[in-house]
Amino acid sequence: MERVVDPLVNKPSAWRTRSELIGFLIMVLVLAVAPFLTYPLFLMQAMCFALFACAFNLLIGYVGLLSFGHALYFGWASYLSAHAAKVWGLSPELAILTGTATAAICGLVAGSLAIRRQGIYFAMITLALAQMMYFYALQAKLTGGEDGIQGVPRGRLFGLVDLHNEMAMYSVVLAIFLAGVLFIYRIIHSPFGEVLKAIRENEARAISLGYKTDRYKLVAFVLSATLAGVAGATKAIVLQLASLTDVNWPMSGEVVLMTLVGGLGTIFGPVVGAFVILLMQFKLAPIGEWVLVIQGGIFVACVLLFRRGIVGEIANKLHIRL
Amino acid sequence: MIEIFGIPSQALFGQLLIGLINGSFYALLSLGLAVIFGMLNIINFSHGAQYMMGAFAAYLILQYSGLGYWPALIIAPIIVGITGVIVERLFLQWLYKLDHLYGLLLTFGLALIFEGVARNYFGSAGLPYTVPESLQGGRNLGFMFLPNYRAWVIVASLVVCIGTWFVIERTRLGAYLRAATENPTLVRAFGINVPRMITLTYGFGVALAAFAGVMAAPIYNVSPQMGSELIIVVFAVVVIGGMGSILGAIVTGFGLGVIEGLTKVFFPEASNTVIFVIMAIVLLVRPAGLFGRRA
């Protein structure tokens, strides 16, 4: 994939971390103030999708693998989290853990199949596997079929904090989101992350240097699926709902769109992209099906005109890394 | 009534027939995908939407000009093929030097646009399209009842598939195409207009999808989402067969249709997922696909 050429290769390394640090602080500040200015529920939903997009970006942006089936991990984590909270009566943190573990297992199985093929086939395999699990969700008892799982109780965090309080829920989601972003940042800048980038740039060469690239790809895939699971599981608790929309293929397309709009292979791109796309859907809801046409148009425009995405363009203009 | 494996033969052969019909569409669509991928190095995600456009074109031709099925079977693929040529000139030609994935993303966006427009004008419910008079009715084969239209679909798609195979593998034009797939620069040096060949190949692939769409119109209803449901299954078919071989795409398409039909008889719950399960098994046993060459 074409990516932002790192403009800071020759500059002192203090600068590199600083622009990312400043970006992170701005993000924290905005998200801390935002619930007082706009609907907390919208923000919480947006943060869940932002984390989902960041998880997806870990694969496409840093390993160069396009998964077209990330709805599988998001959706099934959301189902299991909702089921655990509603039917098993688990506390929210355990419900989210249950959902996350489900996504991790699904990621391990789907990932080990998908990494057997490269490039375009990888995308088709992930899409097909996700569709298979969509059909399964349609029939399975646990998912509630067309109805989904409704009225999921938010419960009490660690048995103490009542999450039906909007601000308490907001703080939890914010904490999960920030922890997720920091975790991804840590992965990207670890030696493991450097190997991932090497695979993205030239897999054959990474193999010749003695790296077992399949294992690296699988671990990256499982990490990405797991984080997508965290996002989905949290979303089920926040919106108190898990439905077929979350596992169906348009959801997989949406997360690709968010990441593409924000900027592939940037830390903050997926976050910005998720907020932009959700805001757009929210504002354009009255015009119905035209949203689909507009989303398609954005896809086309992004691919043809600005492949760097919003954050990628800014970073490129300012010669910084974001 | 005769029973085979405890299943009434009527039901068995009925599902086999449905399997062959679905298989015809899998074969036609995966063939188009393979032809396009060979020349353009792009996986055409909008293939399903273009199949849907073919069905809608037939519907609109009937509504506005009164021309029935047979003229539509020729005109609709030509119209949709022309839109394909426009798409290639406007959008796709800028992507050949980029990573394959951008082609997938762009055509995915196009699929959303086509489907969204169709939904806006026609709603999500299906529109009926009647079987042409000349093919109404059917015949009793003794062991089952065979509707004429369904027999026609299977025969027609077989003829088109084999015709395409023949053109690509056995004619001079096909030789040019295969050569341009292998080494476009060299073929251009021989004075062949490769960019135009690429454009026309895309147009042809899209027309093939539209042809399948017209044939599908009387069987399934004409609806905006008819393509997106199908294309994902076709992707699985392509992964199973591998895109290296035209004949492979045809055989895999029909074969999987039949397997899907049989699953509906013996284990109906799995009929939606069986092709994906087969894909998973093929990936474990033969990662390159049944007819694929290791990249």
| Per-residue confidence (pLDDT) for residue A8, from 0 to 100 | 46
Domain contains A3: no
CA dihedral of residues A299, A302, A304, A310 (deg, nearest 10): 180
Contacts of A2 in chain B (CB under 8 A): 98-99, 102
Q: Are B85 and B199 in contact (CB under 8 A)?
A: yes
- Residue in chain A lying closest to B107 (CA): A300
pLDDT score recorded for residue A13: 57
Closest alpha carbon within chain A to B295: A118
Provide the pLDDT for residue B293. Answer: 62
Residue B247 lies in a domain: no
| B100 part of a folded domain | yes
d(CA B49, CA A103): 31
Within-domain flag for B285: no
CB contacts, 8 Å: A141 with chain B: none
Nearest to A252 by CA among A24, A90, A68: A68
Smallest CA–CA distance from B87 into chain A, residue? A300
Structure tokens belonging to residue B172: 């001079």
Distance CA A45, CA A245 (A): 14
Residue B122 counted as domain residue: yes
Q: Is the pLDDT of residue A223 over 70?
A: yes
Rounded CA gap, A185 and A202, in Å?
22
A97 falls within a domain: yes
- Classified as helix, coil or strand, B85 is helix
A99 within domain boundaries = yes
Residue B88 lies in a domain: yes
Q: What would the two tokens of residue B139 be? A: 């015949």
Specify if A45 maps to a domain: yes
What's the pLDDT score for residue A25?
A: 92
Give DSSP secondary structure letters for B136-198.
-SEEE-SSSEEEHHHHHHHHHHHHHHHHHHHHHHHSHHHHHHHHHHH-HHHHHHTT--HHHHH
Number of other residues whose CB lies within 10 A of the CB of residue A215? 11
| Local confidence pLDDT in tens for the 295 residues of chain B | 566 666 777 778 888 899 999 999 999 999 999 999 888 889 999 999 999 999 999 999 999 988 889 999 999 999 999 999 999 999 999 998 888 889 999 999 999 999 999 998 888 888 888 888 888 888 887 777 888 899 999 999 999 999 999 999 899 999 998 898 888 899 999 999 999 999 999 999 999 999 999 999 999 889 999 999 899 999 999 999 887 788 888 999 999 999 999 998 888 888 889 999 999 999 888 888 888 665 4
**Which CATH number fits the domain that encloses residue A303?**
1.10.3470
* Residue A242, in any domain of the structure: yes
Indicate which of A292, A295, A302 best probes the interface with B, i.e. most B CBs within 10 Å of its own CB.
A292
Interface test with A, best of B33, B283, B286, B291 (most A CBs within 10 A): B283
Using a CB-CB distance cutoff of 8 angstroms, which residues of chain A are in contact with residue B108?
A: 253, 256, 296, 299
Give chain B's count of helices (H) and strands (E): 11, 4
| A108 at B interface, C-beta within 8 A | no
> What domain range includes position A67?
13-318
Number of domains in chain B: 1
Q: Is residue B160 part of a domain?
A: yes
Is A5 inside a domain boundary? no
CB of B265 closer than 8 Å to CB of B215:
no
> Does residue A7 form part of some domain?
no
B276 located within any domain? no
Reported pTM:
0.91
CA B79 to chain centre: 17
* Mutate which: A66, A117, A120, vs B, most B CBs within 10 A: A120
Q: What is the ipTM of this complex?
A: 0.89
Asked if residue B21 is part of any domain, the answer here is yes
Residues in chain A: 322
Q: Cβ–Cβ of A128/B94 closer than 8 Å?
A: no
Pair A214, A58: CB distance under 8 Å: no
Looking up tokens 């693929």 gives B77
- What lies within 8 Å, CB to CB, of B189 at 6+ separation is none
Tens digits of residue pLDDT in A52-97: 999 999 999 999 999 999 999 999 999 999 999 999 988 999 999 9
Report the number of distinct structural domains present in chain A.
1
Report the alpha-carbon distance of residue A197 to residue A315 in Å, rounded. Answer: 19
The distance of B252 to chain A (nearest Cα, Å) reads 16
The answer to whether position A8 is within a domain reads no
Instruction: State which residues form the domain around B159.
Output: 11-226
Judging contacts by C-beta atoms under 8 Å, the chain A residues touching residue B117 are: 293
What pLDDT was estimated at residue B245? 80
